[in-house]
Structures are given as structure tokens and as C-alpha cells.
Structure 1
């Protein structure tokens, strides 16, 4: 209870937070006026942003299922967001109830919801830590992470819709490299990232205006791939989230211009 009160004391409802804004775009109710205003400013520039959020979420679920079906039983999900339907542990534990998952986020609302709602199977384990992607070593050194995951066995690192909140001056390459260095061979990395490369210039100008603090950093497919050159990328390499295993997704598939998210899955050598 004390942890929950401490987390709630840190909530600033006057400033938009990515997890709460994403919750609003997915149709959730765990958000505040500042989050909704921020999301609506983005939607004014990109009317298909809600579709993009849904497609990104569906990619996460397909990626977890893909890896779980190939024997991965451990997941480190950084930037998990407010719980929604078919979270990482639910998809993984549906395939193997003994799967172990650690969720990481820096929004106290996410932490309180996760502890209340993300319940593991009796055979598996689900843990949650309050930490920031920009401090990767702190995540890796966390007692909860180390006691839940076995770093001698393959782990799936999930970086879904989170790296675009790391500015270039915050060393995204160093963050990614630190995390990959900690993973044993045979591990996987799943990443998705917003891109503006398919959008018209007038839409990009509006999106930039809606990002006054520069916290959001869209990157091209080439820039995303460059962050993960140390991995062996699975075919088809960097691709729109709407085109990842489209045979496993509802049809017709949306246009990549309407989704504006790229994704990849790579294996640690």
C-alpha cells in the first residue's frame, strides 16, 4: 500500500504522458485532460493515429506469439504502457503457463495498474518495476528483474513503441547496446518505432508543432535498422507493423502510409 501511495504522489495530471496518451488512442479510460489534448493534437495532424496504435498493439501480440511458439519463455517488456487486452504475459502464458515476464515503465499509473491487473498463471511469474529506458543499467541491475529472469537462458527484449521517446542526444544507440550486451545468445529483440517517412510534408509540420519539447523522435526504417546492426534480423527485416506476418492478421491490411510504424525482430548472435 505504501508503494502505491508513493507512486500516486508522483502523478502529474497536468502534463501528458506517453503511456496515458497511448491508452486514450487505444480507447482506454486511464488518462487525463492533458493526455487527451496531446493525443487530439497528434490526431489532427495524422487522422489515422488510432489505427496506428491498434496495429502496433496487434504487432506486439503477434510477435510474442511468434517467439513463444519458438520456445522463448522469458520476456523483458520495457515501456509496457497501461494494461490492455492480450498483454505480453497473457499471450506468452497461453502457449506456456510457466513463462516469466517483467514489465518496465516509468509512469506510476502504469505501475499501480500493472500490480492490480497483470496477474500471472500459478506456474509462471509476472513482475513489474518502475524504471526508465534511458537508464538501462538500472533496469538490468534491478533485483526484481534478476530474480525473475534467468540471464543464462534466452530472453525476449520488447521495445515496442518506446524508443521514439529517446532523443538523439540521450544516446539511443548506447541504450540499445547496453541491453543487448546483457542478453545471452539465442535471445531476441522486438522493436517498433514511429516513422514519418510515409507522411506528406504538411502532416509532418503539424506533428512537429505538436511536439514542442522534442521528446518525440520519429525515425526512418534505415535509422531504426542502424540501432540494431548487432542483431541478425529475421526476414523481412525492418517492415511496417501492418506487414509483419499479414497472413496472421485481419484482412484487408491497412496501408503503411496510414500506420506509420516500422518494426523488426532480431536474434542475438
Structure 2
């Protein structure tokens, strides 16, 4: 087994719930679409079992409510269940009251179904920034021990470029575990997965992840179940940009992921990070520069 440590994470949402299609798919109509999230998530579970990898599943409450058996299968396979919120709404579009309701609803659902405490939370689209720093207190007050809601990059939809690139504690005690980046040319480059994993050459991503793991001690990787689903219905009315982001190299995702799974000792977020919680520096979120 590889000595390189990694936290494998999967944001469990369906193909019609992604931000790229938010402008053409109404939340009120989600139940009208064919659900494929269970099929693709079980494909991920099979890959993890094949490579003896453990992962953290950040599951949408909406999905858990309709696919409770899938949540139980994740637990039975020895993986961690964490929260991706209930309705995949970006935090920047919610009031504190709306966000608290979303977080609380998802956590209760996931804990009732899984029978396990849900310690982790990841905001949809990494949508926590200086403009909604109140979210950290709400996440902690809901009972979460850690968040993985920050991507220290500059992106048109998310990102806090000035944020730490390694785990840190907020003044309220919440642990933040950012998505992994690689510093080059004075900028943080995204290497943690998602569409970048399908876009960039596998050799480049593998090199960057290993470099990060050797320098920082571990690496965070993420993907979505729909990235393993080449048979998903196509959103023909979506913009060219949205189609590019969503459909690029879907056919390459499974073999690439399989190759990556053999390169690291993949663990859950809780197992890899929470045992070291007292070692993380405290960072004042208000001191960070705006994106």
C-alpha cells in the first residue's frame, strides 16, 4: 500500500442538480427528472472496494431522503457519511436563517438514516467566503466538527485565494479542511479533482497530488457520482460553457479514478484529519483578503 496519505471525498448529487444547470433546471422540478445518483454512487462504492479505499460521502439531504438505502450501503461499506446540505443551494444566495434551516435539516436526515453522527459538512460549490463568514458559526452550532467548504483559488463561481492551503481552525473551534492546491508562479492551482481532473492530463494531476501530499502530509480529492455516468441524459438546452464543464471527458473518468485510487492510501476525512485537530493553527477569517 502507498505511504502517501489522501482523503477521498465524493459530493453525492445527481446530474440535474449541478450548478452548471441551475439556470435551466428548477429545484421545484427535480422530482421530474430520472434519478441516477444511486447507480453511479454504487459504481464508486465498487471501485473503492476494489482498491481497498475509504472515503467521505458528502451527501445531499434531498438525495438521502429519496435514496435512504444508498446511505446505509455507504455506512455498511465502512465509509464516512457527511453533509452537503439539503438542497444544493449556494451559501452566498441564502440568509443566515435559510442556511441554518438547510444545514439542520440535512444533518438530521443523514443521522436518522445512517444511525451515525455526521461530523463533516461541505458547502455546495465551495460557496463560503468573506461575504458569508457567519456560516462558520451556523455549521458549528448545527453540531458539525469540521467543514471542507473552502477552495483557495480564484474561480468565477467560488474561491478564497488568500485562504490557508492546509487545515486550520477558526476562532469558534470549527476545523476547515480546504481542497488541495499547488503553488506555482505565485498562484494556487486547483489539483483537488472535479472538472479539472477530467480536463488536465492524468500524469500532471498525479504528479501535482503526490507533490502536495509529500509537502503537506496528505491531500484532499473530490469528485461527483455523475462523473462516472456516461449514460446520463444530456441537457441539450444548456449553454456551450455549461456543457463543456459537465460533459468533458466523462468517458475517461472511471479509468482515471481507478488509476488514482492505487496511488495513495485513501482514508475518510474524519480518520485522516480529526485525530490531529489540536495541531491546526487558528486563523482569523476576517483577516483574509477578498477574492
Larger RCO: 1 or 2 (CA < 8 Å, sep 6+): 2
- Normalised by the size of structure 1, how large is the TM-score? 0.39
- Normalised by the size of structure 2, how large is the TM-score? 0.37
